[in-house]
Structures are given as structure tokens and as C-alpha cells.
Amino acid sequence: MLAGGPAALRGLWPGVPADRRWLLVLSVLAILAALIATRLSDAVEPTVAHRSCGGLVHSRRTVRRLAALFAVDAFAGGFTAQAFLVFWFTREYGATAQLMAVVFFAAGLLQAASSVVAGRLGERIGLLNTMVFTHLPANLLLAAIPFMPALPIAVILLLVRSALSQMDVPARQAYVVTMVDPGERTAAAAYTNTARYAARPVAPLAAVALMQFPWIGLPFLAAAGLRIAYDLTLYTLFRHARPMSDQARAYGHQPC
């Protein structure tokens, strides 16, 4: 918003600076976030008595399966990165970078609000159901965007999709820690997040290859198709899985 918003608001504030050094605000905020992280106390870590005796032990198989699925989801997300969306909307509808900055700003607000809603929804229908049943319609909307006849309709679909697509993020993070021993939560988060971060950067290369075809909407379909497959596989594999706390009570299992 800070990078593209000033030009979009020039009609209301003619003297607003258009310098692209507004982008540096992102770096400043990132540094500030890192400083805040250093202020966290040991209370955010498991107590010494419940820490794992070394990495993943009892939950290794579960974490590996989740990490593989999350990697597919992240890879699919890389097909429709923001840079691609700006390029596509500009080429197909003549949208300006300033307009897309405002669109992404609105999308960010919707995603932030959806995170709060996701927490309450997870309490009502369960974390796995929240992950899958919000992600599926979001991906169907993503697949529909390249077929829209006009810019306003495509933007509306993108915003509705944004409101749904990130609801699985807090649910996913909470789901991971419920499926492992308390002492293995840090390791589980490290494995699953690393899988996502390692897979996502590869997708833009594949997206560029798809864009060589006559129709440049193929990355939308590739992203949506992979993510729908991820949703269905995740639900199939884990719909009967029980949280680790329930397993411990049932079998008398204790973390090492």
C-alpha cells in the first residue's frame, strides 16, 4: 500500500510523494519484528520436563506426512505469487500497479480478519475441517479468476478468495502442535515450515514455463489443481487421526 498507494490517492492528496523508497518501510518493519522476537521470554518454550529427548521421536511419521503435504501446498501457492498477479491483471485487464497495490492492501486486511475468524471456526468444526473446507472454495475461486470477463469481477473473486485462502494458516499451525508430543512441537514446526519455504521458490520457474503457452491463465489452474489435490489428500489421510493428547490418554503414552 505504501509503495503503490500514494499514486492511487493523488486525486485526494496531490502533493503525496511518489518516491518508490516507500518500499523500504517493509525492511524497517521486518527489522522491528526481529527485535521484538528477541524480547520473548522462555515462557514461549515447553518446560524442561516436557522437552523432547532429541528432535522427532514418537511423531516422526505424522510430521513427515504433514511436511510433504504442506510442501505441495506451498509449491502450488508459488504459481500465483503477487508479482504474477500484477503482471496478469495488467496484461488481461490493463490494471495499474497502483490499483493492484490497493487491491492487495484490501486483501491483506481480509486475511488478517479471517485469521481471527479461523480460530473461532476451528473451535466449532475442528482444525482439520477448518483447513480443508475453507481452502477448497478458495481454490475453486482461484481457478475461476482467469475466466472472468471484466476487471471488477476478477478483483471481487480475488478478494473473496483472499478472505478464505488464509484461514487455513492459523488452523494448520495449531493442528501441527496438537498432533505431536508437547516436547516435539518446536521440531515439528521447524520441519513443516522448512518444507513449505523450500518448495515455494521453485514454483515461479514452473509458472514461467506455463506462461509460454498461448493462454497465460494456466498458472491459475495449476495452482488451484494442486491445492485441491492437497486438500483432498490431507482430509483423506487425517480425518480419523486423533490429537497426541488423546492418544496419550488412551494408551498411557508419556513423552520422553
pLDDT of residue 13: 64
For residue 188, being part of any structural domain is answered with yes
For residue 119, being part of any structural domain is answered with yes
Domain CATH number, residue 163: 1.20.1250.20
DSSP class per residue in 131-151: HHHHHHHHHHHHHHGGG-SSH
For residue 164, being part of any structural domain is answered with yes
pLDDT of residue 8: 62
Q: How many CA atoms lie within 13 A of 197 on its CB side?
A: 6
For 51-91, the pLDDT digits (tens) are 555 577 788 889 999 999 999 999 999 999 888 999 999 99
For residue 113, being part of any structural domain is answered with yes
Task: Locate 107 and state its grid cell.
Answer: 486483501
SS3 233: helix
Can you say whether the dihedral through the CA atoms of 8, 13, 19, 25 is positive or negative? negative
For residue 151, being part of any structural domain is answered with yes
Q: How many domains does the chain have?
A: 1
Q: The pTM is what? A: 0.79
Tell me how far apart the terminal alpha carbons of the chain are, to the nearest angstrom: 48
Domain region containing 194: 60-239
pLDDT of residue 52: 52
φ/ψ (deg, to 5) at 17: -65, 140
Distance from the Cα of residue 144 to its chain's centroid: 19
**Of residues 38, 59, 229, 29, the one with CA closest to residue 139:** 229
For residue 168, being part of any structural domain is answered with yes
Residue spans of the chain under pLDDT 70? 1-20, 45-54, 245-256
Task: Locate 94 and state its grid cell.
Answer: 490493463
pLDDT of residue 245: 57
The C-alpha atoms of residue 22 and residue 5 are separated, in whole angstroms, by 10
φ/ψ (deg, to 5) at 209: -65, -40
